[in-house]
Structure 1
Amino acid sequence: MSSVQKAVAPIFDEPAARNTSGSAYLRYGAGKVGGAAVSLLAVLVTGFFLFRLIPGDPVKTMTGGRPVSTEQLASYRREFGLDLPVWQQFTDYCGKALTGDLGTSYQFRAPVLDKITEALPNTLLLTGTAFVLYTVLGIFLGTRAAWRHGGLGDKLNTGLALALYSVPSFWLGLLLIIVFSVGIGPIPGLFPTGGMESGGEEGLAYLLDVAHHLILPVITLVAVEYGQTLLVTRSALLDEMGGDYLTTARAKGLRDDLVRRRHAVPNALLPTVTLVFVNLGRTVAGVILVETVFSWPGLGGLFYQALSVPDLPLVQGLFFFFAAAVIVMNTVADLVYPLLDPRVGR
């Protein structure tokens, strides 16, 4: 390979990746997976004790205020194991959780895992759509802002990204409902105020109805989340722009656009790849407020409903699921990064 080719080659080319020590990577991966397992165990323990600090009696809440005898209340407590000492409830909970049994919901009288599985597709539809859109938008605008840093477009992009990133998602969602669902002034109500479907639709009409309900919550998530991807991409690309390999590429006569797309952006995307995995887990866990505001029938709405009882097994199960999503995606990011940049994990 000539000196010019060496200067222009990305840091994660195949020969370099193949030279990464397999044993070193295995040790690195084992450490990350072990740390994730300890974190999951800590979440399991924390969730059990944390939600028992919530005031209120779940059994009395489930009766809906109806007059219930002391014997009936005692029967309910025996049914759900609430008459046992806390330490015994804890050991029973941990033992079942390790086998995949997260308990039985108080209010739905159904396994917690079944309720999570039932609501998960709706959450994935919302968060998956938003995730793809804000990732693509953040990377595109971040590269544009960095390549023309200091210009008007850069200042507008970064300023808007910072402003929206600091806005609470529930506040922005309520604002969008007031303006575009209820209508204000000359702006008519164009979108539903909440829910996932209007009901009574089938086939293509049903898909269009769901898409219509999806627009405002997706806009809310994209507006709040794209700024972080933009800022990280912009910062990483600015660090790469002074590299010698870019100067060499320009000296070869490559157009500025090709230099950016073929050489600068691929290397600058390494930190963004990590952020993408982290955001994927964080978006699933952070959708609670958006789903609650828009009455979206997903995991976030289910968590709010369970918390209001409180339905302890369901709250604990959802808390564990949300935390596990973040921990697992962080671990995947840690495992993927050394494959892209062999300097990591050695």
Structure 2
Amino acid sequence: MRVRARAYLPYLAGKLGAAAVSLLAVLVTGFFLFRIVPGDPVKAMTHGTPTSAEQLAVLRRQFGLDEPLWRQFTEYCAGALTGDLGTSYQFRAPVGELIAAKLPATLLLTGVAVVLYSAVGLWLGTRSAWRHGRLGDRLHTGVALTLWSVPSFWLGLLLIMTFSVGAGPVPGLFPTGGMESGGTSGFGYVLDVAHHMVLPVLTLVAVGYAQTLLVMRASLLDEMGGDYLTTARAKGLRDAVVRRRHAVPNALLPTVTMVFINLGHVAAGSILVETVFSWPGLGGLFYQALSVPDLPLVQGLFVVFAGAMILMNLLADLLYPFLDPRVAR
């Protein structure tokens, strides 16, 4: 169905305005939230090094921590809106450069995981709903509910103990952490990275597909009692055609939201999974920054994570009218 431009433009303006307000709220929250984290960043940086009160004062002045809170906030907002996320206390490097250096590893890990568990979840969710009540549906739903309730870090540790360290007759097959072993190049490097990715990707897929399956199953079950499906069957259409052309497209709106939220998680990565597997991505970097606390780095990562989610939600909202033109009315 076609989307009328006259109805879509006000809808577009409203969604863009809401996204801008959300981004402003992220900037405000990102600044004040991490100011209440206990700990002195300057003392944490100089931990173990004899430092006088005068030297601590110089460091606070150097990082702008001696300025009034309102001035720190205005400088933080002005820098963030121009792409300047400040300088890391811990690494003494621009936050933007640190994020850019770690981003490819996170995109590789979580990007592969999101594609896999979205595809598996949509496929199994559709089959479970269409054959609801049967053995396969009960089995898939039970497994999904179990995995959805499992903490990702606990599952990751369990996989490490079983398949990395080895358990009983099962030998250690995969590395315990990291992204590469080193000393390889070309196709050997690709295989090495893929070998390191198996367990963290499996952890993310096991937890992520369960959520996608349950959302798709519930959405499709709501559509299955519709009169339009009865009409389609009365026209003589095969059951597979009714499902593919009529039921699934109308059940996609909640699942599209889920998929785009998962795409937003690609930038954020998984802090717990990356930490458990020592994956050199943004999740591990956030954990390092929070332990200091490295305020500019924590704030910069928070803005990037939240900004990715806002962008993906905006794209999902803009796509809705093309799936169902009634949304823009």
TM-score of the two chains, using structure 1 as the length reference = 0.91
Aligned residue number for residue 250 of structure 2: 267
CA separation in 1, counterparts of 2:10 and 2:196? 47
CA separation in 2, counterparts of 1:248 and 1:48? 56
1:23 aligns with 2:6: yes
CA separation in 1, counterparts of 2:121 and 2:150? 17
CA distance 1:141–1:178, change in 2 (3 Å): same
Whether the 8 Å CA contact 1:119–1:299 is kept in 2: the answer is yes
CA separation in 2, counterparts of 1:70 and 1:271? 57
Q: Extract unaligned runs of 5+ from structure 2.
A: none
1:181 to 164, 168, 174: 164
2:58 to 68, 75, 80: 75
Aligned residue number for residue 152 of structure 1: 135
Q: Deviation of residue 247 (structure 1)?
A: 2.8
Q: Give SS of 1:199's match.
A: coil
CA separation in 2, counterparts of 1:282 and 1:327? 11
CA separation in 2, counterparts of 1:46 and 1:250? 52
Deviations 1:228-284 (A, max 9, x none): 211121122222223333333333433322332233223322332222112211354
CA separation in 2, counterparts of 1:256 and 1:27? 39
CA separation in 2, counterparts of 1:169 and 1:220? 7
Matched to 1:92, the amino acid is E
Q: Give SS of 2:34's match.
A: helix
Aligned residue number for residue 96 of structure 1: 79
Deviations 1:195-220 (A, max 9, x none): 00011110011000000110111111
Q: Deviation of residue 77 (structure 1)?
A: 1.3
Q: Give SS of 2:325's match.
A: coil
1:323 to 270, 292, 306: 306
Stretch of structure 1 that moved more, 98-107 or 266-275: 266-275
Q: Give SS of 2:237's match.
A: coil
Deviations 1:267-312 (A, max 9, x none): 3223322221122113543511111111100000000011111110
Whether the 8 Å CA contact 1:274–1:337 is kept in 2: the answer is no
CA root-mean-square deviation: 1.5
Q: Extract unaligned runs of 5+ from structure 1.
A: 1-15
Identity over the aligned pairs, expressed in percent? 75
Aligned residue number for residue 6 of structure 1: none
Q: Give SS of 1:239's match.
A: helix
CA separation in 2, counterparts of 1:247 and 1:178? 52
Matched to 1:102, the amino acid is L
